[in-house]
Amino acid sequence: MARIIAIGGGGFTSASSPALDDFLVSQLDGTARRIGYVGTASDDDPVRLRHFHALIAPRVSDASVLPCGSNADEARRWVARHDMIYVGGGDTARLLAHWHQTGFDAVLAEAYRGGTVLAGVSAGAACWFECALVRGAAGTLEPIIGLGLLKGSVCAHFNAEPDRRPAFLDRIGAGLLPSGLGIDDGVAVVLRDDAPPAAWSAGPSCWAYALSAGSGGSVSSIALPAFV
């Protein structure tokens, strides 16, 4: 069963919303829980790597990191060892450019089709969709083309940065982005090939929403069903 877990913000990489970590680990089947971390978007930021080893590794049977310098063959062997690949946040454009250059994008697509759970936060959530609204190097919000494993668009940090929600709604209403998901910090959206997307929240005031264009530039916003 193909499955992607897209997190708007929080979790172990920022040492916040620890309930997100509980949820993440709970999505691994069986007792042999093996998680691999990819820090391309932050250039293997050492703080995030320490958080991964301190907060996730003790809870699973195998936890390892794919170094940024790995080639496609090395990445393919590494991915095959894990049940879940988790992608950290940072610069989405750098992440995608590096993956396209090294062939890691194709490796992840193969893993997804083979049943490996893909997950990630912020840039690591945005990368799986056809396109996303992300913070660029100049600090402005810009659309970007993703891997296309999931249809539609996405915007992470939907409740955390005041300019994200109106910018995402404006672009969907104008037809510059397709219908998609707005995901608050503290929220994980589970996307499976056999069910509609569903949300799980680490707190009472955050959620995820399905957004679609209406007539005259209007945009409808519907809260996702709860993941059970």
Residues annotated as part of the active site: 122, 157
Q: Is 146 helix (H, G, I), strand (E, B) or coil?
A: coil
Q: What's the burial of 55, exposed, middle or buried (CB within 10 Å: 0-12/13-18/19+)?
A: middle
Interior CA angle at 210 toward 146 and 141, to 5°? 45
> Cα separation of 136 and 23, whole Å?
29
Q: How far is CA 53 from CA 41, 57, 62, 147, 211, in A?
A: 18, 5, 10, 27, 36
Contact (CB, 8 A) for 63 and 53: yes
Q: What's the burial of 25, exposed, middle or buried (CB within 10 Å: 0-12/13-18/19+)?
A: middle
> Cα separation of 173 and 182, whole Å?
14
Q: Closest Cα partner for 123 from 160, 79, 156?
A: 156
> Cα separation of 21 and 37, whole Å?
13
Q: Closest Cα partner for 210 from 200, 197, 226?
A: 197
